[in-house]
């Protein structure tokens, strides 16, 4: 199912829906935790990658400012 801006809804377990929000058996619980863990891992990686990129950009700017300051 597509929402907006290419966002894809991912079901936590087979049969998951608004009418069936909770797992009802062991297989569904296992799927829920596996899928949730994968989602958390992927989102965490994206956040870390974004923070590293931002740090590198700030570090680059600081080095340029240091060079400007050293020339005075």
pLDDT in tens, 4-14: 666 677 788 88
Residue 8 forms beta bridges with which residues?
2
What is the structure's pLDDT at 26?
Answer: 96
pTM equals 0.63
pLDDT digits (tens, 9 = 90+) for 5-44: 666 777 888 888 888 889 999 999 999 999 999 999 999 9
| N-term to C-term CA, the chain | 59
What is the structure's pLDDT at 24?
Answer: 94
User: Alpha carbon 40 to chain centroid distance?
Assistant: 6
Residue 6 to residues 1, 2, 10, 11, 59, Cα–Cα distance (Å): 10, 6, 12, 16, 33
Tell me: pLDDT of 71 over 70.
no
What is the structure's pLDDT at 1?
Answer: 43
């Amino acid at each position: 199912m597509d929402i907006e801006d290419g966002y894809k809804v991912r079901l936590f377990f087979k049969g998951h829906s608004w009418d069936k929000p909770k797992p009802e058996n062991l297989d569904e619980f296992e799927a829920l935790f596996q899928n949730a863990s994968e989602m958390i891992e992927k989102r965490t990686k994206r956040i870390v990658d974004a923070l590293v990129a931002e740090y590198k950009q700030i570090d680059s700017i600081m080095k340029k400012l240091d060079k400007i300051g050293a020339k005075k």
